[in-house]
Amino acid sequence: MSAQILKQRNDYYKILERTQKGGKDITNWLVWFLQTIEQSFVAAQETTYKIISKLSFWQVHRQRALNDRQVKMLNILLTDFYGKLTTKKWATITKCSIDTALRDINDLIRKGMMQKSVESGRSTSYELVL
């Protein structure tokens, strides 16, 4: 709850000030508070889903031999990666050559951990197999 209030700090202070100056009616504050609780539950549920998904992924693939770059990128992809993964992004994030990035990705494809995205536009992109 505190994380959600922190995200909405400005709204919190506005509704609190309006409630304090508005007399005895706290309906607007209660509505805001209940909506914030709901948003915090949704955020907690999303976080829990990500954690369980990441754990399940690693349990399925725990016997796979991976290099440090692959482990790093898989963890990023499982937690907070946004957008499409390309060999160039892989190379930039892991500080390796594009050829090395492509070898890492192709190895993960062979191991069934990644696949080429169906929605590839001008360049090939890749996604996790969950």
Domain of residue 76, residue span = 65-128
Q: Are residues 46 and 70 in the same domain?
A: no
State how far the Cα of 32 lies from the Cα of 10, in Å rounded to an integer: 12
Domains contained in the chain, number: 2
Specify the pTM: 0.73
Q: Are residues 32 and 78 in the same domain?
A: no
Q: Give the per-residue pLDDT at 119.
A: 77
Choose the final residue of a domain: 12, 40, 58.
Answer: 58
Q: Are residues 47 and 70 in the same domain?
A: no
Per-residue pLDDT tens for 16-74?
Answer: 888 888 778 889 889 999 999 999 999 999 999 999 999 999 999 999 999 999 999 99
Kindly give, in sequence order, each residue whose CB lies less than 8 Å from that of residue 130, ignoring residues fewer than 6 positions away.
53, 57
Torsion of CA 126, 83, 64, 47, to 10 degrees: -150
Mean pLDDT of the residues in the chain: 92
Q: Are residues 81 and 121 in the same domain?
A: yes
Per-residue pLDDT tens for 62-116?
Answer: 999 999 999 999 999 999 898 999 999 999 999 999 999 999 999 999 999 999 9
Q: Is pLDDT of 6 > 90? A: no
Q: Are residues 36 and 69 in the same domain?
A: no
Comparison of pLDDT for 122 and 87, the residue scoring more: 87
SS3 of 48-64: HHHHHHHHHHHHHCCCC
